[in-house]
Structure 1
């Protein structure tokens, strides 16, 4: 049965309505959003009375481009990658395949697009291929050489579209340096996941300049808010925080791995923001944890899978371990 928490992460209100509990009692581990938000958001001066500034938007795209390792004229700011994925889908024609399992929206971007198994991506050679790196929900990380080989096998009419929403922790695996006007490559980047500010709704398309121009035309004026411009620009320029956070998340993911193994679960995935476990009845485990106000992410199509996000502190880790052991 499809429920709110099998459709997408972050369904605390629906879980609370079903399982009970006060809002403050819930530990939300159902998303892949960094539990340690960039701390400078509240310090930014935002003029809520004026329309977003064009010069400020270009500064945001420059800061993001520097972070991605690309030229700024290959970057277009978006009101979230969900919108960006669907816009990109309107630009794709011909035969389109989407890697599976992966993010649900990938299968909805193009009507008639067919899935291709992650272990058999060669079956999509010569066609447009949509995939995520790292993948969601299993956290699989494709190596750069493998991705370049996939790009080379698109043929004259196919595109490689890579959702790099979780790539900020893996800069060496990003295809950003390969973006060029003569390559049929498009990337989607998320701001909110790594910076822990998903409510800002900010993302980016990285693509050949002709594609950027088409998307900007469809977005129209003022594609993102003044808050997104101010906060995004400052956050991308905070290289010290970015480097330290990458290290911190790596250490915290190791602690989560150790916890899961102590509880007889083998963690899967390489994104430090979440882990996947395979267990005989994942929905029963989901319900047992939810009964203790801990929200995780089950999957209707994969009844053995449960995705567990990164707890924000030692208390959250301890609470999760106690629930797994004794709940």
Structure 2
């Protein structure tokens, strides 16, 4: 376990400018596999021009919350707060928690949780022991986990939520990749308090640039989040697209099948190159191997960006390519 400190900005995937600087002679166009974003974006209807010209109507936000509540099986729309991506919600939520000033995060995981808690004034413990989370006022679990794919059972999460609720603390469960997981969501339990669930729109629907995410919790908490976000926190284009996508159950079912097949194809390509997969979801695969840095270098020289972790040099995360990029990726892996 380790105590987090507020340091330099955290590096994430999706930075092609950095990739070009690292590999200036790599062929273009780049294939960006450094994120866990669906390469098959949701085929929404055209966005009306007046959506860009007008401020979003409050009624449109209420409609989005109603559709999201049904899609995520939340108790009611009042249990949902919508914002421009879950990233911006992290420090807001951390700022709502009192107590002893200690936060505990089940790690290794998405690094922004620790940074947000630190910025909110918490002393942050990053631990791989689930039992340690109950010692803090703010506890965080990413489920399924990014980047390892680790799944914490619903029973364990609900037991921890009960502990946190009894002492006035808060458990945050980040379900950013729940749309492509066989894990059980705990959204249905948020009405009891002491628990907030985060859901990301952009990853599964392949529209990360739209910037939309949800905090799902007791209405007494979600109203405070909305107050801190202020008016018009969700853009008109995001409202238009998300209301369609979240209600499109047929597309969701078909996409889960497609992503599962894509993940199996990626596993096969990695296995053929002698690289075992140890975890992940159907939106990304995780590698833990002493050759991880060599594979990062090899693929980078072929214009393929993956996600490495400076603090864990044997780990590498590989996302899914678009249909047109499979042959290039498979050829590069075959040459490793």
Q: TM-score range by the shorter chain?
A: over 0.9
Alignment of 1:285-304 (within 5 A): 285-304=295-314
Aligned mate of 1:97, from 92, 104, 122:
104
Shift of residue 246, structure 1, vs aligned partner: 1.0
Alignment of 1:1-327 (within 5 A): 7-20=11-24, 24-40=28-44, 43-47=46-50, 48-70=52-74, 71-94=76-99, 95-111=102-118, 112-118=122-128, 120-127=129-136, 128-154=138-164, 155-170=166-181, 173-180=184-191, 182-313=192-323, 315-327=324-336
Unaligned runs of 5+ in 2: 1-6
Deviations 1:208-235 (A, max 9, x none): 1111111111111111110011111111
- Matched positions, count: 321
Distance 1:107 1:49, change over 3 A: same
Larger mean Cα displacement after TM superposition, 27-36 or 91-100 = 91-100
Larger mean Cα displacement after TM superposition, 122-131 or 156-165 = 122-131
Q: CA RMSD in A?
A: 2.1
Deviations 1:274-303 (A, max 9, x none): 011012142232122111100000001001
> Contact 2:175–2:199 (CA<8 Å) still a contact in 1?
yes
TM-score by length of 2: 0.90
Unaligned runs of 5+ in 1: none
What SS is found at the alignment partner of 1:308? strand
Deviations 1:67-91 (A, max 9, x none): 1001111001101110011211111
TM-score by length of 1: 0.92
Larger mean Cα displacement after TM superposition, 69-78 or 167-176 = 167-176
What SS is found at the alignment partner of 2:53? coil
> Contact 1:126–1:157 (CA<8 Å) still a contact in 2?
no
Distance 1:171 1:321, change over 3 A: closer
Q: How far apart are the structure 1 equivalents of 2:239 and 2:27?
A: 31
Distance 1:23 1:224, change over 3 A: farther
Q: How far apart are the structure 2 equivalents of 1:92 and 1:46?
A: 41
> Contact 1:76–1:206 (CA<8 Å) still a contact in 2?
yes
